Structure 1
Amino acid sequence: MNETAFAKINLALHVRRRRADGYHELETLFAFVDDGDRLSVTPAAADRLTTHGAFAGMIGDPFGNIVGKALSALPREEGWAVALDKRLPVAAGLGGGSADAGAVFRMVDRRQGLPADWQARAARLGADVPACVLSTTCIGTGTGTDLAPVDSDLAGTPVLLVNPRVGVPTGPVFQAWDGRDRGAMPSFEATGSVRAMALAGRNDLEAPAIAICPPVAQVLAALADTGPFLARMSGSGATCFALYDGSEALHAAAEAVARRQPGWWLMTGRLR
């Protein structure tokens, strides 16, 4: 089997409060790009994982990583040899590891079906994993694991992902959040469309991420110069995205950013 681990972006991410359990109460609008890491599976006597690709070197112990944990989380009748082509940067706000785990869940579903409690099993691996299993536009609340899929008028929208090749760990960014509740994310019912929700939303982690990783501000400025209808940081950074009204605008933007900052990582695609 082969599966793409679709890159996750947060079209909006509102942090409402710190919870007593140490996590944060969130409201987020998940969307997914039609590209990402690639996984392939063949039967094996026992589970094993091999990695290759541009960012494989950033993964340590393969079975200490989330793909190994996803394999252990789901009962199967046979072992799997998984090859992971790591094309997404690590600690980048794209849910790369969570997307890889989501791809494992989808392959298990295709092979034999998922257990009834798959969402709880996915949530134990990480807050983004349940959304990454679905890999469709959805609203996430709680810690991001309570999901409500929505029909998206942004499906097929050209998107440019840019990362300054600097990893930003999630924990310190959340710890640096100032604790101020800046208000709820606009509802789908009130706005009538995912595009309107995204435009009226924000990412409350942009400021703390920029304080920790100043290049995020440079990426946002570079994207703003390319004329998108929306440019924003994804998750806790450092990757930022820009959405365009047409393919020509997307390709012109990608070429302009690549000329301006040849060392940055770029990926183009469309929203699913």
Structure 2
Amino acid sequence: MDLEETAYAKINLALHVRRRREDGYHELETLFAFVDAGDRLWVEPADTLSLELTGPFGGDLQADDDNLVLRAARALHDAYDRSGAESRDWQARLGLPYGARITLEKNLPVASGVGGGSADAAAAIRLLTDLWDLPDDYGRHLSIAAGLGADVPACIASQVLVGTGTGMNLEFVDNDLAGTPVLLVNPQVPLSTGPVFKAWDGVDRGALPEGRASLIAREGRNDLEGPAISLCPVIAEVLAALSGTDRWLARMSGSGATCFALYATPEARDAAAAAMPRAWWTMAGRLR
């Protein structure tokens, strides 16, 4: 059995930073959305757990124990390994040691604000749940994901969500943006999250709007755009290039450096993609 799935690219249609917490994390309000394209994962049975990296950005990662996909696989296994009778039933079916041969086709740039690693981890959890014949338990998956990173829980569902706190408190919203043509653009400059948050000026500019996804997106903002541009000025060039196309929204995603634009038609999106410099990475799709 060979199973496959897309690890859907995550974008933040809006990202409001409200304050820095005493634990060092930041209090956020964000509107997550997902594109119908991204990395690809395949899993097949094996006696041991392994990971092979392919794709245009596969060389930017290491298939070592710290890789988020392998960490997700171990966390999923451990969640059932500690579950008493349920665990014994599962182990009797599967046999130990547990294993899987995982292939990750890395199509998304690394450290780019589109949640590639988080989406990969979430896709691994979904795939291995099927491969290992585990219960499709959304609540348990969220609990596992929370131990892996702030964006991983949202990537489990890969649907439009409002995230609060550190982004892990999730609430579904009225998604009137499904099918919207979207273009992602990255200047192929990696940008780490930590320095961007450190460069935030600490000013609370107000709460995330309430309502349908389109209203939140239109009236929201990304409070990390300014800090990210101060560290990576080419982001301003990407935003200017997207703003010069026939879009109805252009914004940076997450902590950058990827930016996105939303369009009324696929034709407008594709014309915009053709106008971007060839040195920049682009991905066209639709919102889920």
Q: What TM-score do you get using the length of structure 1 for normalisation?
A: 0.95
Q: Tell me the alpha carbon deviations over residues 72-94 of structure 1, each in whole angstroms, 9 at most, x when there is no partner.
A: 10127431100000000000000
- Partner of residue 9, structure 1: 11
Q: How does 1:11-90 map to 2 (within 5 A)?
A: 11-75=13-77, 77=94, 78-90=98-110
Which moves more between the two structures, 85-94 or 109-118? 109-118
**Cα contact 2:8–2:34 (8 A) shared by 1:** yes
1:159 matched to 2:175? The reply is no
Question: Any idea what SS the aligned residue of 2:127 has?
Answer: helix
Give, as a single letter, the amino acid of the residue that structure 2 aligns with 1:73: A
1:117: how far off?
Answer: 3.2
**Cα contact 2:51–2:63 (8 A) shared by 1:** no
1:150: how far off?
Answer: 1.7
- Partner of residue 133, structure 1: 156
1:265 matched to 2:274? The reply is no
1:174 matched to 2:176? The reply is no
Report the structure number with the largest CA radius of gyration: 2
Question: Any idea what SS the aligned residue of 2:214 has?
Answer: helix
Give the distance between the partners of 1:123 and 1:171, measured in 2 at CA: 19
- Partner of residue 184, structure 1: 207
1:227: how far off?
Answer: 1.8
Give the distance between the partners of 2:15 and 2:129, measured in 1 at CA: 29
1:149 matched to 2:172? The reply is yes
1:255 matched to 2:277? The reply is no
Q: Tell me the alpha carbon deviations over residues 171-207 of structure 1, each in whole angstroms, 9 at most, x when there is no partner.
A: 100011000000000012xxxx211110000000000
1:212 matched to 2:231? The reply is yes
1:92 matched to 2:92? The reply is no
**Cα contact 1:105–1:114 (8 A) shared by 2:** no
Give the distance between the partners of 2:44 and 2:182, measured in 1 at CA: 32
Aligned-pair identity in percent equals 59
1:114: how far off?
Answer: 4.6
Q: Tell me the alpha carbon deviations over residues 88-140 of structure 1, each in whole angstroms, 9 at most, x when there is no partner.
A: 00000000000000101211343422555332221111000000011000000
Give the distance between the partners of 1:109 and 1:134, measured in 2 at CA: 14
Counting matched residue pairs gives 265
- Partner of residue 229, structure 1: 248
Give, as a single letter, the amino acid of the residue that structure 1 aligns with 2:159: T
Give the distance between the partners of 1:187 and 1:198, measured in 2 at CA: 10
Q: Name stretches of at least 5 consecutive residues in structure 2 with no aligned partner.
A: 81-93
1:66: how far off?
Answer: 0.5
Moved over 6 A (4+): none
Give, as a single letter, the amino acid of the residue that structure 1 aligns with 2:107: R
Give the distance between the partners of 1:184 and 1:109, measured in 2 at CA: 37
- Partner of residue 199, structure 1: 218
- Partner of residue 117, structure 1: 140
1:149: how far off?
Answer: 1.2
